[in-house]
Amino acid sequence: MTELPRADVLPSLLEERLAADPGAEGLVFPEARLTWRELSERADRLGRALVSLGVEEGDKVAVMLPNSALYAVAILGTALAGATSVPINLRFKETELGHVVADCDARVLLTAGSPTDGPDASAAHGLFPSVFPDLAEQDPRALQLHAAPSLTAVLWLDGEPLPGTVPPDEVAAAAEHVDGAELTERRGRIHADQPAMIMYTSGTTASPKGAVLTHRAVVAQARCVGAHCYGLTPDDRFWTPLPMFHTGGLMSLLACLSAGATYIHARTFEAGRALHQLSAERVTVAMPVFEPLWLPVLDHPDFASTDLSALRIVQTAGVPEKQRIMQERLPTAVNMQSSGMTETASYFAFNRPTDPPEIRLTTGGYPMPTVEVRVVDRATGEDAPAGTHGETLLRGAGCFVGYYNAPELTEAVIDQDGWFHTGDMGVLDEAGRYTFVGRIKDMLKVGGENVAAAEVEDYLSRHPAVRLVQVVAAPDRRYGEVPAAFVELNDGTVVTEKELIEYCVGRIATFKVPRYVRFVTEWPMSGTKIRKFRLREELAKELSEKGITEAPRLSSRAGVA
């Protein structure tokens, strides 16, 4: 067998698959099935096209694609070219998209889709004209966009391209001008501490920030998730409906690549189709994670008659009561929880399948070999005793190295000893298992999505009628929590709850749009600071008294559906 190059960089995962079993089925999507060899060939072609079209080693390549085999091709092709991929959340609207493309200094943006495709697949058609209004009049191979000064080309990989972009046939033709030797040379120069990805995540800042993940971190986590967390082998068939622009959807792909397991994706989620795919593909490990993506499967009318006997592990998350229900509905598979975040390229703690059910369903798991976990007293900085709440600190090969273009923010959260101060409260028990307790950060978790209150406040404050706004979490049966805005208006102005919600819809991601707006003239204060917890308590009490457990749905263009 040919000796493989360094194994701590992203291309090594694909090289190992080619050496072990290139003809094995690697990817399964509703519209495509690829072997590892076919994936490698497509990634190689895209890598050569990127080089031909001017991508240099270390350049940033933004990836704005729907869940598809093409996403895997884009991530691996970018790595082969020696560049850094920047996955873009397809739920972003014009404000976030413009910020991320400019902030990451993207040299090239990869996208696809046609106007008649679904919302995710047609996102570029809907957003580009407003985010990049001068795109259509540009030379597609030498862009000079006001909103993204570093961007020189938008490559349209499939579908109907917009004017000003490089169409699919020209991208394919560009690959023919670069031979494989150039990629081989670039591959040889990739080092473990080079950025492999920049994953944007919302935090307590007003805009999404880019967590820089090195090749070492990505590969370490991929290997650990595959072998340590799930115990994957080439016989496993792994299913998820999670977006591939998230660490969950993307790192599970790389975990399968590392272990040789088949990666099966739902592309878009619908409970009936998911149930059929789980059965037809003989899925052994399922990673729906969030209750809204698993309970509908368990509650589907066809669930009882569907053969899911191949399923051995289901990874879910949520409150213990719901966890117990999900385990009871499918007792033949082991339900497991974990703890993770973008800054650790997936998980930092994971339960063991051999743990008793009550442990698996109520704790976040044991720290992974790739990440050290501490819980410290915030006042003293000393380790908190077992069973005592404190701030969660993380360090290790699986951790990010900082936030892109944000040295002051990086310095504020990573100390001199390399510990990442997460701003989250947690607890370690006597056995060393970690459990998340709450957020110190002023942040919400909406159906699994991180939402910074400051980001929503920043956008709402631009409305001419708004003097001051504070965003808090409102309890919600469907999403866990949703944004709610308390607003003080400027003198002499009038605006309704619906109008403020409409102001946000279509301009910021739907999961960030406030579902409730309450108007105030006085604020609960503590010295000079607004006591947000009082606002949360006030709204929670109101909703409880009214029997409201789920926020009104939003339509795509209007306020409350």
Q: 10 Å Cβ neighbour count for 124?
A: 29
Is the same domain home to 463 and 413?
Answer: no
The answer, yes or no, to whether residue 44 has pLDDT greater than 90, is yes
Is the same domain home to 406 and 379?
Answer: yes
pLDDT band at 147 (very low <50, low <70, confident <90, very high): very high
| Residues contacting residue 233 through CB under 8 Å, at least 6 positions apart | 259, 260, 261
Is the same domain home to 46 and 183?
Answer: yes
Whether 482 is in a domain gets the answer yes
Is the same domain home to 524 and 454?
Answer: yes
Whether 177 is in a domain gets the answer yes
Distance CA 274, CA 242 (A): 12
Structure confidence at residue 229 (pLDDT): 94
Residue-wise DSSP of 186-254 = HHHH--TTSEEEEEEE--SSSS-EEEEEEHHHHHHHHHHIIIIIS---TT-EEEE-S-TTSHHHHHHHH
Mean per-residue pLDDT, 433-453: 83
Whether 270 is in a domain gets the answer no
Provide the CATH number for the domain around residue 395: 2.30.38.10
The answer, yes or no, to whether residue 444 has pLDDT greater than 90, is no
Provide the CATH number for the domain around residue 490: 3.30.300.30
Is the same domain home to 72 and 163?
Answer: yes
Structure confidence at residue 425 (pLDDT): 85
Find, among 246, 200, 199, 248, the residue nearest to 222 by Cα.
248
Side chain identity, residue 486: F
Is the same domain home to 453 and 479?
Answer: yes
The H-assigned helical ranges of 428-558 are: 453-460, 497-504, 532-546
Whether 420 is in a domain gets the answer yes
Percent of the chain topping pLDDT 70: 96
Provide the pairing of β-strand 84-87 with 60-64: parallel
Domain count, the chain: 3
Whether 316 is in a domain gets the answer no
Torsion of CA 299, 301, 304, 308, to 10 degrees: -70
Distance CA 148, CA 133 (A): 11
Instruction: Using the 3D structure, point to which of 210, 225, 250 is the last residue of a domain.
Output: 210
What are the beta bridge partners of residue 317? none
Structure token digits, residue 134: 């001068």
Whether 136 is in a domain gets the answer yes
Mean per-residue pLDDT, 113-126: 82
List Cα–Cα distances, 368 to 372, 432, 446, in angstroms: 7, 11, 26
By the 10 Å C-beta count (0-12 exposed, 13-18 middle, 19+ buried), 46 is classed as buried
Instruction: Using the 3D structure, point to which of 164, 181, 210 is the last residue of a domain.
Output: 210
Is the same domain home to 420 and 469?
Answer: no
The answer, yes or no, to whether residue 114 has pLDDT greater than 70, is yes
Q: Is residue 142 within 8 Å of 157, Cβ to Cβ?
A: no
Is the same domain home to 80 and 184?
Answer: yes
Q: Please, what sign has the CA dihedral across residues 436, 437, 441, 442?
A: positive
Residue numbers of the domain that contains 168:
35-210
- pTM for the whole thing? 0.85
Provide the CATH number for the domain around residue 82: 3.40.50.12780
Is the same domain home to 133 and 173?
Answer: yes
Q: How many residues are present in the chain?
A: 561
The answer, yes or no, to whether residue 555 has pLDDT greater than 70, is no
Query: What pLDDT, in 10s, does the model give residues 376-410?
Result: 998 899 999 999 989 999 999 999 999 999 999 99
Is the same domain home to 453 and 526?
Answer: yes
Is the same domain home to 62 and 165?
Answer: yes
Mean per-residue pLDDT, 332-354: 94
Whether 433 is in a domain gets the answer yes
Instruction: Using the 3D structure, point to which of 151, 177, 210 is the last residue of a domain.
Output: 210
What are the beta bridge partners of residue 155? 110, 166
Q: Please, what sign has the CA dihedral across residues 93, 271, 318, 518?
A: positive
Query: What pLDDT, in 10s, does the model give residues 293-341?
Result: 898 999 999 999 999 999 999 999 877 777 888 999 999 999 999 999 9
Mean pLDDT of the chain: 93
Is the same domain home to 384 and 489?
Answer: no
Please compute Rg for the chain using Cα positions: 23
Whether 24 is in a domain gets the answer no
